[in-house]
Chain A
Amino acid sequence: MLQIPCPWCGNRDEVEFRYGGQAQVAYPEDPVALSDAEWAEYLFVRANPRGRHAERWVHSDGCRRWFDVVRDTATNEFAS
């Protein structure tokens, strides 16, 4: 079980969190201005690297805050 560093609560067990996918995928300013392909890219396409991956988590059974971390998907180590 991962131990996830909540910036507000410190290290907590994975069961207290929910994974929110890749970090820094911003909701487009003006969706109407996007082409179908660009909108589909926003909706469906995410990175899936072996190695460092910026991701979002929410401490749902704790402070309920969202935060970003960088996790190595091969070792599960979190970069500080």
Chain B
Amino acid sequence: MTRLPSGGRIDRSRTIECTVDGVPLRGHPGDTLASALLAAGRLEVAPSTYLGRPRGIVTADSGEPNALVQVLDAPEPMVPATEVELRDGLAALSLSGVGRADPGGEQRCEKRYRHADVVVIGAGPAGLAAALAAGRGGARVFLVERHRELGGALLDGDERIDGAPGVEWVARAASELAALPETRVLTRATVAGHYDHGYLLVAEHSAPEQRPAWQRLWHLRAQRVVLATGARERPIAFPGNDRPGVMLAGAVRRYLRRFGVRAGERVVVCTTGDSAYATAFDLVAAGASVPLLVDARSEPPPALQARARDVGIRVRTGASVVGTSGAHRVSEVRVADINDPGRAEVVECDLVAVGGGWNPAVELARGPLTWDPEVSAFVPEQDAAVGAARGAFGLADCLAQGFAAGAAASTATGFGASAPQAPVVEGDPAQSRDHPLWSVVGDEVESFVDLQRDVTVADVRRAVDAGLRSPEHVKRYTTLGTGSDQGATSNVLGLGVLAALLGLDSPGASGATTARPPARPLRFELLAGRDRGALHDPVRTTPMHDWHVRAGAVFENVGQWKRPRHYPKPGEDMAAAVLRECAAARTGVAMMDATTLGKIDVVGPDAGEFLNRVYTNGFAKLAVGKARYGMMCTADGMVFDDGVTMRLAPDHYLMSTTTGNAAAVLDWLEEWLQTEWPELSVHCTSVTEQWATIAVAGPDSRAVLARVAPELDVSAAGFGFMEFRNTLLRNGIPARISRISFSGELAFEINVASWYGQAAWDAVFADGADFGITPYGTETMHVLRAEKGFVIVGQDTDGTVTPLDLGMDWVISKRKDFIGKRSFARPDTARAGRKQLVGLLPVDRDVLLPEGAQLVEPAASRTPPVPMQGHVTSSYRSAALGRTFALALIRDGRRRVGEVLHAPLGDRELAVEVTDPVFYDPEGARRDGHQPG
């Protein structure tokens, strides 16, 4: 056991029992899984992902590349053991790089949206100072801290502030922040992304004792962001630097100080700067031996050397560890002069504490980064970064910068604040410069840069040898920094190695790679929150929806609407049901819920003129009481939407749109009214949900209507095609009934206020019962309209099709201008050889062409690229035709009627004859139905 008898910030009064890989593990509240493993002497974790090399715990923070675990009981896929707080019953599985996705569903995930004046990221001394200064001014402040405790590096050191230990200053700051009414402190909260205009995503976790566990995603909009994210220690690339027992020096110290865990008994410290001396001194004080401290600098500060000598630590300067040995854990290191790596001394040890310098944690900085040669690291240019995040590692500097930045942020957001007097700091030795050491001469295949990706110096050299120079290219070539740790420990080391291989002075010469959110992996479950299952997307249903459900309808999603697709009877598949429904509409009577069609009220003295400009055909002269089919194009002349519009009054039209395009059409109308034609006095209002619509189609529909609407003259003479009437249904419901047809049959559409929808439906269904009235769905509607050659915008068109391509020249007005008209004279829209709408009849009458199938000349070579002649847009079985048929867009199609084309489908070739697109009742004789005789 390496748990020290005292010390650390853990609760030794209570013992926690959990398991890792099924093996029992004990620890205390305050432990992480990593500290408990180390305390139990279990340094080694799962082998590396790609090379299968033994690996151990390296860090004490979220950048841990090796010790990844899957939490089984929470569940949580692939998290660093350094981030998992110990709790009773915790069951974890160590992972070799790859976790198992869990569908989730057990854990409570929720979202909160807040505005803040100032968000301070990181609650070390600089962040605490910033939050205090900003919060005292009255600003709304969020202080976001990743760990369970505030204080950052102050929890690991001996510094004193205003005469008291650092932790006491932290406690005072915490209680002051808690008392500030507009300040909120989030702990166990990780900022995953910092986006435009101060938008932050923060993932907050519950404390381990809170059951059930929860997670919360904060969406914060901040006016000012203060980055106090601290710094991360970087390793050094020497041969065997991935062996279990090679740890970062700061992590070794943190395990001692925060968790009372001595990670090794005999420790070689290998450093390029001052900070690792503190680790060496703490180790000796904790009873470990430090046989050697190797400093890359030729002249380290004399005071440090003297203190080392006083506690019995030999210091070797101008040198580095140049190799390690050991079976599953380091057992000895080789140490040599940097300038003379050939002659190495061998030192026995069970741990190597490596301090390769400190990189400001800048992944959340939004501005440019610059290389600071003083600290040998990239630092943010903007002054919103404070403390170690800006390369200031002294405590006095951290506090001063934090106070200043907090006060400035508060002032900038309209709250008066001045920076507090900087407190007196003791035990904060002046830092001397690091001597950056990226890699030592030696076996590059054994010198690791990115432990999570198993990227070595040899890999970086291979990238350079391949001619790559840009860090972004080398990153992608080697996968350096692309692991789940996002290169937290490896990225700057990799840039340093690259710079050295390129012969550059420093990584500053090649620049840093761009960090992109999320800075840490986020669970999809957390991003979704409660927006899942039925809450994922709004569901729109018609007033008759429950009836459709009871009738056994199979639904289809159209936009957010649920529409009955067909109503299968027992034993029927879709094809059988649709043939039956089609036959009913063609030979008897059938009814459909058409409520979902978009409906827009267009009102105002200029409504007619407005519709004339947006429709390709004329509407200004449409008589009140009449309806007209209209088509809209975009300015480039392509079909945008279509539908029937009624004129209810001289200044009032009711436009219908396709179901899926209703919102886009309203947007379109408003855009033109607001931006181009503000002089037109017109208002547009969506009334889709105010009306329920029932289509009644078929030769017997007149007889049914006569019963449903007894006051109405439903005769062909009394109620003409494309007319509408206001009337009362027999059950007293006011209705607007129009005679329009999307099937070619005699048909009526009954519009009633939506709250009458079900009653009107019931009346039609009852009055049609002895005619065998048959409810039909969207699939039948599609077949009926396709038999007539009526297009569906968005199915038979795709934004590259003009009305002329559809053969609908009649819908293009010659007498007025409208959106898109000029484009019909453009060379591209006027050229021959455009794709045109045609019908297709498969030569084999039973074969159903797949929609989307490509069509080619039978004689064309099948060696790619095969010239494509067009594609199938709609394809069905027809009860009326007794065979299959299709619609298609085909190059120069109208001139090819009668030709045979082929649809190659895998190893089959389907032959199809090109036909006119109108298959059924081309004379339009059925529109008026039976004449009452």
**Contact bitstring B146-159, A, C-beta under 8 A = 1, else 0:** 00000000000000
Which of A20, A31, A43, A66 contacts B821 (CB under 8 A)?
A31
Task: Indicate the member of A34, A43, A65 with the most B CB atoms within 10 Å.
Answer: A43
- Given A34-B822, A60-B667: A66 and B675 interface contact (C-beta under 8 Å): yes
**Contact bitstring A12-50, B, C-beta under 8 A = 1, else 0:** 010000101000001110011010100110111000000
Nearest residue in A to B637 (C-beta to C-beta)? A43
Please name all residues of chain B whose beta carbon is closer than 8 Å to the beta carbon of A43 when the two chains form the complex.
635-636, 823
Contact between B676 and A27, CB atoms less than 8 A apart: yes
**Contact bitstring B626-640, A, C-beta under 8 A = 1, else 0:** 000000000110000
Please name all residues of chain A whose beta carbon is closer than 8 Å to the beta carbon of B825 when the two chains form the complex.
36
Which of A2, A39, A56 contacts B197 (CB under 8 A)?
A2
Q: Please, how many angstroms separate the alpha-carbon atoms of A9 and B636 in the complex?
A: 33
Contact between A66 and B671, CB atoms less than 8 A apart: yes
Q: Please, how many angstroms separate the alpha-carbon atoms of A1 and B199 in the complex?
A: 6
- Given A31-B821, A60-B667, A66-B675: A40 and B196 interface contact (C-beta under 8 Å): no
Q: Please, how many angstroms separate the alpha-carbon atoms of A44 and B634 in the complex?
A: 12
Contact between A39 and B675, CB atoms less than 8 A apart: no
Please name all residues of chain A whose beta carbon is closer than 8 Å to the beta carbon of B328 when the two chains form the complex.
none
Q: Please, how many angstroms separate the alpha-carbon atoms of A27 and B196 in the complex?
A: 32
Contact between A3 and B197, CB atoms less than 8 A apart: yes
Please name all residues of chain A whose beta carbon is closer than 8 Å to the beta carbon of B821 when the two chains form the complex.
31
Q: How far is the CB of A5 from chain B (nearest CB, A)?
A: 10
Q: Please, how many angstroms separate the alpha-carbon atoms of A35 and B198 in the complex?
A: 47
A58 within 8 A of B: yes
Please name all residues of chain A whose beta carbon is closer than 8 Å to the beta carbon of B635 when the two chains form the complex.
27, 42-43
B221 within 8 A of A: yes
Q: Please, how many angstroms separate the alpha-carbon atoms of A40 and B826 in the complex?
A: 8
Contact between A76 and B667, CB atoms less than 8 A apart: no
**Contact bitstring B824-847, A, C-beta under 8 A = 1, else 0:** 011100000000000000000000
Please name all residues of chain B whose beta carbon is closer than 8 Å to the beta carbon of A65 when the two chains form the complex.
674
Q: How far is the CB of A68 from chain B (nearest CB, A)?
A: 9
Contact between A36 and B674, CB atoms less than 8 A apart: no
Please name all residues of chain B whose beta carbon is closer than 8 Å to the beta carbon of A42 when the two chains form the complex.
635
- Given A32-B817, A36-B827, A39-B826: A1 and B196 interface contact (C-beta under 8 Å): yes
Q: Please, how many angstroms separate the alpha-carbon atoms of A40 and B671 in the complex?
A: 21
B556 within 8 A of A: no
Q: Please, how many angstroms separate the alpha-carbon atoms of A31 and B816 in the complex?
A: 12
Which of B197, B636, B671 contacts A20 (CB under 8 A)?
B671
Contact between A58 and B667, CB atoms less than 8 A apart: yes
Q: Please, how many angstroms separate the alpha-carbon atoms of A31 and B613 in the complex?
A: 13
Please name all residues of chain B whose beta carbon is closer than 8 Å to the beta carbon of A39 when the two chains form the complex.
822-823, 826
**Contact bitstring B500-512, A, C-beta under 8 A = 1, else 0:** 0000000000000
Residues 165-218 of B contacting A (Cβ, < 8 Å): 195-199
Nearest residue in A to B672 (C-beta to C-beta)? A27
Nearest residue in B to A64 (C-beta to C-beta)? B670
Which of B196, B198, B675 contacts A56 (CB under 8 A)?
B675
Contact between B675 and A3, CB atoms less than 8 A apart: no
Residues 603-626 of B contacting A (Cβ, < 8 Å): none
Contact between A36 and B197, CB atoms less than 8 A apart: no
Which of A3, A34, A36, A40 contacts B199 (CB under 8 A)?
A3
Q: Please, how many angstroms separate the alpha-carbon atoms of A44 and B823 in the complex?
A: 12
Q: Please, how many angstroms separate the alpha-carbon atoms of A51 and B514 in the complex?
A: 20
Q: Which residues of A contact B (CB under 8 A)?
A: 1-3, 13, 18, 20, 26-28, 31-32, 34, 36, 39-40, 42-44, 56, 58, 60, 64-66, 76
Q: 15 extra interchain contacts, Cβ-Cβ under 8 A, other than A2-B196, A28-B822, A39-B822?
A: A2-B197, A3-B199, A13-B221, A18-B667, A26-B676, A27-B635, A27-B676, A31-B821, A39-B823, A39-B826, A43-B636, A64-B670, A65-B674, A66-B670, A76-B197
